Amino acid sequence: MFQYRKITNDMYYIGANDRRISLFESAYPVPYGISYNSYFVDDKKTVVLDTVDKSVAKTYFENISALLKGRTLDYLIINHMEPDHSAMIDELISKYPQVKIVCNQKSKGLILQFCHACYEDQFLIVNEGDILNTGSHTFSFYFAPMVHWPEVMVTYDSLDKVLYSADAFGTFGALSGNLFADETDFFNKGIDEARRYYTNIVGKYGPQVSALLKKAESLDISMICALHGPIFRKDLNKIIEKYLKWATYTPEDKEVVIAYASIYGNTENAAQILANLLAEKGIRVNMYDTSVTHYSEILSQCFRCSHVILAAPTYNGGLFTSMEQLLSEIKAHNLSGRTFGFIENGSWGPLAAKIMKETVSNLKNSTILEPTVTVKSSLKEIQLESLADLANNIAGSI
Ligand SMILES: Cc1cc2nc3c(=O)[nH]c(=O)nc-3n(C[C@H](O)[C@H](O)[C@H](O)COP(=O)(O)O)c2cc1C
Ligand SMILES: [Fe+2]
Ligand SMILES: [Fe+2]
């Protein structure tokens, strides 16, 4: 049975939720599921904005069919070609073969790669700022390259003042009926998953996100409809402020993340003592075992906090694997402007700090605090002194 929802006078939510999925994009745990959003505009010409993931296809097509009431679908606007949004293009075309696909040239190339059902005169190619009138609605299109993929664009409807923002402003987590962020405790409870989504999915592309925010400034927006998570219609400045910070890699809080790996517990011992010292100085600390907490969560906390302490044993002449992965994610997502400190461990040839420092010193605007604490197997008095010095230097720079 259809489950579409009315958003404005003639615009409807036609997406759906997947709460069975364990790993989004085969990489990110989604303990609260995920929503695949899509929208229907019931104008003189009928319009669908993006399709959905194959996991929610049944609901999506039931929603469209119920809204069309036997009419034809005129336009499918494609903002993003990643298969969590484009998986149903072929099926949509098979059901509504006369539909015009409104997309940019780059998307057309990807559609031809991913899909099999479309034909040449099905495309209506748009450029930056182009306009599509569908009766009473006027849509305009703005390119947002790399705000997840190179072909991404966003669509603005000047009648409803809605920005269809593609993956920008998306959030992990299924929608529990409350479609709007203001119907939930979003800025207390939802923001952590929004940040984890942002940092992991688009965090790498801060300058491109900033460019999109700049374009959006010139539009009169009263609602942001993303492809995942809730719709924003109140306090838009609050979520935009978060995006401005995230896109510029500006820490939200003066706090410390301690991410440690430990096989036998000795590195953990040093990390915990550092945490205790910092706590005694009134500093807020967020501690994670990299082998236990998924890197996507730790990376997200590294975006939130100003200071990051990495602690790891040496492993086969390299770095313990879960720390290696975290570090490679930190690098891949261009985390910049953070202050780092290091604790290493090794029984015969400690190398972990050297490796961690090498990666971190290639990050933009990073500061490295001394001393680096080296543990040889288990903690001795001498390391307690170094830990105290490191704690003082963290406190001095926070
Ligand atoms: C598979 C394996 C490989 C290791 N490789 C190295 C190494 O290359 N160099 C070194 O100094 N220690 C190496 N170690 C030893 C650990 O780094 C060392 O015992 C350290 O104290 C462990 O810290 P933890 O108690 O926090 O786990 C290795 C340990 C394991 C299990
Ligand atoms: Fe995407
Ligand atoms: Fe997506």
Q: How far apart are CA 393 and CA 87, in angstroms?
A: 51
Q: Which fold has domain 253-397?
A: Rossmann fold (3.40.50)
Closest ligand (CA of 226) = 3
Other residues' Cβ atoms within 10 Å of the Cβ of residue 220: 8
Any bridge partners for residue 374, and if so which? 344
* CA 171 / ligand 3 centre spacing (Å): 9
Could you identify the atom of ligand 1 that is nearest to the CA of residue 270?
26
pLDDT value, residue 187: 97
* CA 201 / ligand 2 centre spacing (Å): 7
Closest ligand (CA of 149) = 2
pTM (two decimals): 0.96
Q: Which residue has the tokens 């906390």?
A: 301
Closest ligand (CA of 50) = 3
The CATH number given to 5-247 is 3.60.15.10
129 CB-near residues (< 8 Å, 6+ apart): 140, 141, 142
* CA 167 / ligand 3 centre spacing (Å): 5
- State which of 319, 345, 374 you would mutate to test the pocket of ligand 1, scoring each by most atoms of that ligand within 8 A of its C-beta: 345
The CA-CA-CA angle for residues 302, 303, 307, to 5°, reads 50
* Residue 249 CA from chain centroid, whole number: 13
Ligand 1 first shell, C-beta below 6 A: 262-268, 313-317, 345-350, 377
Nearest CA to ligand 1 atom 21: 377
Among 180, 269, 168, 172, which residue's Cα sits nearest to residue 223? 180
* CA 73 / ligand 2 centre spacing (Å): 25
Q: Which residue has the tokens 């709460």?
A: 19
Backbone angles phi, psi at 135, to 5 degrees: 130, -95
Domains 5-247 and 253-397 share a fold: no
Closest ligand (CA of 144) = 2
3-state secondary structure of 56: helix
Nearest CA to ligand 1 atom 16: 346
Q: Which residues surround ligand 2, an ion (CB under 5 A)?
A: 82, 148, 167
* CA 361 / ligand 3 centre spacing (Å): 32
Backbone angles phi, psi at 93, to 5 degrees: -65, -40
104-113 contacts, C-beta under 8 A, 24 or more apart: 104/141, 104/143, 104/151, 104/153, 106/150, 106/151, 107/78, 107/81, 107/151, 107/153, 109/151, 110/81, 110/86, 110/149, 110/151, 111/78, 111/81, 111/86
* CA 376 / ligand 1 centre spacing (Å): 9
pLDDT value, residue 336: 97
* CA 59 / ligand 3 centre spacing (Å): 18
* Residue 241 CA from chain centroid, whole number: 16
Nearest CA to ligand 1 atom 20: 346
* CA 334 / ligand 3 centre spacing (Å): 20
Closest ligand (CA of 315) = 1
pLDDT value, residue 46: 98
Could you identify the atom of ligand 1 that is nearest to the CA of residue 267?
26
- State which of 315, 321, 351, 374 you would mutate to test the pocket of ligand 1, scoring each by most atoms of that ligand within 8 A of its C-beta: 315
The residues spanned by each domain of the chain are: 5-247, 253-397
pLDDT value, residue 219: 98
pLDDT value, residue 386: 98
Q: What is the DSSP string of 80-108?
A: --SHHHHTTHHHHHHHSTTPEEEE-HHHH
Nearest CA to ligand 1 atom 19: 347
Token pair recorded at residue 169: 């402003």
Token pair recorded at residue 293: 């907490």
* CA 227 / ligand 3 centre spacing (Å): 6
- State which of 260, 268, 314, 378 you would mutate to test the pocket of ligand 1, scoring each by most atoms of that ligand within 8 A of its C-beta: 314
Question: Omega of the bond prior to 371 within 30 degrees of 0, cis?
Answer: yes
pLDDT value, residue 32: 97
Nearest CA to ligand 1 atom 30: 315
* CA 354 / ligand 2 centre spacing (Å): 35
Closest ligand (CA of 85) = 3
Q: How far apart are CA 25 and CA 178, in angstroms?
A: 25
Which of the residues in the chain have pLDDT under 50? none
| Residue pLDDT, tens place only, 224-272 | 999 999 999 999 999 999 999 999 999 999 999 999 999 999 999 999 9
